[in-house]
Amino acid sequence: MSYTQQEIDRLIQLKDEIEGRKEHAYAAPTYLDSPALAEMSAIVAGNTEESEDVLEDKITVLDYLTDCYDDMGRTGISVKLYGQLLEAYAQLAQKRELSEEEKENLKNTFYCAVLARNRYIKDDCEDLVQFVSQLIGDEKVKHCKKAAEERIRVLPKLDPVELTDEYLAVIDEAERKVDERCETKICHEYWMRKESVLREYGIEWRSPASLNPKIMFD
């Protein structure tokens, strides 16, 4: 069954709400957007139909969701959605041949998925490879994995606790408290407050500054 017009209208409304809260076009979503993102995810998950129309709509929404969750530092959520997104591409390819633009988008999606998976801990992503290898070819798969590995080497280390269900369950409320307590927009104060607030929830979180002592953050 295709998405109902009510569901489509709601997805558009939720996206407009998220975009409308941004201070500028390149701003990341925040904890304020989590309810809207969660509702969008629920709408997509609620339709298991594998028709072309549903898969095309699902790809569009999941692509937006993974971007949002990555941008707001909710990699523990985006890594799960990337699997659904790549699976949707694979299912669509069984219905019809993917266009060159779709294949390019698929390749970029796979790169982002590998990057997200390996941002915290090393992962060979073989479950993701099975969705894309026949669609973009083994050489492009290898190129994407190598490019992601090279990118990760120059990125600051992050605390793997951010992938845990315990962290994801409280981070929205924690970030709200951090915003209320911060007196400046300096990242070091933000991270200090975040460490303190998360400790109130029994979570020991290490900031990028503590994990990357040789990097100057400002």
CA gap 1, 162 in Å, rounded:
36
Identity of the residue numbered 218: D
Model confidence, pTM: 0.94
pLDDT for the residue numbered 2: 85
Nearest CA to 210 out of 151, 165, 168, 156 is that of 156
pLDDT for the residue numbered 1: 73
CA gap 139, 136 in Å, rounded:
8
pLDDT cut 90: percent of the chain above it: 98
- What is the per-residue pLDDT across 18-31, written as a single tens digit (0 to 9) for each? 999 999 989 999 99
- What is the per-residue pLDDT across 150-163, written as a single tens digit (0 to 9) for each? 999 999 999 999 99
Cβ-proximal residues to 201 (8 Å cutoff; 6+ apart), any chain = 166, 170, 174
Structure tokens at 151: 């990118």
User: Average of pLDDT values for 144-153?
Assistant: 95
pLDDT for the residue numbered 149: 93
